[in-house]
Structure 1
Amino acid sequence: MRTAVRTHVGKVRQINEDKAWGGRLAGGLTAVIVADGMGGHRAGEVASALAVDSLLQSLAAWDDTVSLEEKTDRIQEMIRKANKLIFETASLNEEFYNMGTTVDMALLNGSSLLIGHIGDSRVYRVREGQLELLTDDHTLVNELAKSGQLSPEEAANHPRRNVITRALGTDREVDVDVLALDWAAGDRLLLCSDGLSGLVEPAMLLAVLEEPDSTLDQQAETLINLALAAGGDDNVTVALAADQGEADATGGDTA
């Protein structure tokens, strides 16, 4: 399993509040994480870094031999632990008041794909020429769209489409979406902040990920450049995973 991670501050923001990691852990587990921070001056940057660091520390003790139910519980525990860390850090430091972050974490091992998700960063899977959105945006506009109060066109252009309804670290307790899916040979995984998904159409994402002669690193760079060409009005982060031979060493890419 190979991974590629890229992030860019964009053309408008002064600080990159995104944080990402991808790589293989001890025992053969591959992990990919994307966090899109938010808050006051530099607070979002702190929140996203705390989230990724906390999850990596928890993953060091991952046991892949337990049942699927136990794995699901463990993912929820890890993300709630990160939530507690961010919330308490913000509570003790006025400069970090109300900071938070989205988080997407994908764990891959053999034919198994596990995802933990909070916020509006997204996880996509490419399978047999199709791009599948696996996660559900935790946003006000998405809630209105699901209830039929907004059409897809209205939702796409709504002025409050970036208002999220669930984040890591903003409340003492948080609900975590956990998905257990299958992973097949030839699948590709894309985790990204809304700096990509909010600017680049799904068809363009698929075209890049289906390019047969490009490496994961090249695809990640291309996706970043597409977001910048479309305006780059936010930080943009991309993390990819695919079966392309064994990784060179245990470890990971970080950004």
Structure 2
Amino acid sequence: MLTANRSDIGRVRQVNEDQAWVGQLGNGITLAIVADGMGGHQAGDVASQKAVDAFRSMLEQSAAKSDLSVQEGKMLIRQAITQANEAVFELASHNELYHNMGTTIVAALVKRDNAIIGHVGDSRAYKITEGAITQLTNDHTLVNELVKSGQLSVEEAAHHPRRNVLTRAVGTDSHVEIDVQAVEWSPHDVLLLCSDGLSNMVSEQEMLQTVRTEQLELEAKADHLIQLALHAGGDDNITVVILQEAAGTNREG
């Protein structure tokens, strides 16, 4: 699996409150997570780091078995995000500086023929295949709820002043509802995880064109996406993780 992991503070923020991690296990499973933290003075970067650490430590141990089923993978993603929620909530509960801090999470567990996606908040997962891009996740935001209920159009939502208000986040409550799904995965597919610093600034068409550009290596594609978000204003931290099967290699197994 080829992977790229890029993050940028953007043009406005004083601190990068995004965190991302990609890991590959010996059994052929690739793990990835993007977390976009929020809170008072530097609490957001503490929340996202704490969440990523908790997620990583659990899955590096638990997902390493050789014949992980889809159901087991879904359960593990759910457990890892639950563990991240508990870790952030506990820290916030015992430290006044971190009161009410939280973070989004979008995470993936990718194996040979499927990818399991878990998410809370408005960081997104996209699947790019055969010249098409599909948003896999459903933003947990106030504005998205208004779109779903027909009170706002998609166009209105894109520019709504409260579009960043979350209805769910990791670490703000003792329990969190987590969306988990499995999607088919083939060697031609590309998975893109990002914080809203990318998805609010860069269109799906621009994402698709960048990922489909054959002249660029995967890391250069991630860099280009960040540059597009910066050129569009860069008013938030920007984080991009891209996963793609090693193109043109014959892989045994």
TM-score, structure 2 as length reference: 0.95
- Matching residue of 1:252: none
**Cα-Cα RMSD:** 1.4
Say if 1:139 and 1:161, in contact at 8 Å, map to a contact too: yes
Q: Does 1:115 align with 2:117?
A: yes
Say if 2:73 and 2:109, in contact at 8 Å, map to a contact too: no
Following superposition, which runs of at least 4 residues in structure 1 exceed 3 angstroms of deviation? none
What's the CA shift for 1:14? Answer: 0.3
Say if 2:77 and 2:109, in contact at 8 Å, map to a contact too: no
Q: Kindly report which structure 2 residues correspond to 1:107-146, keeping only aligned pairs within 5 A, or say none.
A: 107-146=109-148
Q: Output the CA distance in 1 between the equivalents of 2:227 and 2:116.
A: 29
Q: Output the CA distance in 2 between the equivalents of 1:223 and 1:16.
A: 17
Structure 1 unmatched runs, 5+: 248-255
Q: Kindly report which structure 2 residues correspond to 1:1-255, keeping only aligned pairs within 5 A, or say none.
A: 1-61=1-61, 62=63, 63=65, 65-244=67-246
What's the CA shift for 1:27? Answer: 1.8
What's the CA shift for 1:230? Answer: 0.3
Structure 2 unmatched runs, 5+: none
What's the CA shift for 1:32? Answer: 1.2
Describe the SS at the equivalent of 1:21: strand
Q: Output the CA distance in 2 between the equivalents of 1:72 and 1:212.
A: 33
User: In 2 relative to 1, CA 23–215 (structure 1 residues): closer, same or farther, beyond 3 Å?
Assistant: farther
Q: Which has the higher contact order (CA 8 A, sep 6+)?
A: 1
Greater alpha carbon shift after TM alignment, 37-46 vs 74-83: 74-83
2:25 maps to a residue whose letter is L
2:97 maps to a residue whose letter is E
What's the CA shift for 1:245? Answer: 5.3
Q: Output the CA distance in 2 between the equivalents of 1:140 and 1:64.
A: 41
Number of matched residues?
Answer: 247
1:22 maps to a residue whose letter is V
Say if 1:3 and 1:23, in contact at 8 Å, map to a contact too: no
Greater alpha carbon shift after TM alignment, 8-17 vs 154-163: 154-163
What's the CA shift for 1:64? Answer: 5.1
Deviations 1:105-143 (A, max 9, x none): 111111110011000000001011001000000000000
Greater alpha carbon shift after TM alignment, 96-105 vs 59-68: 59-68
Describe the SS at the equivalent of 1:11: coil
Q: Output the CA distance in 1 between the equivalents of 2:51 and 2:66.
A: 22
Q: Output the CA distance in 1 between the equivalents of 2:59 and 2:72.
A: 14
State the percentage of identical aligned residues: 52
2:204 maps to a residue whose letter is P
Describe the SS at the equivalent of 2:19: strand
Q: Output the CA distance in 1 between the equivalents of 2:248 and 2:18.
A: 27
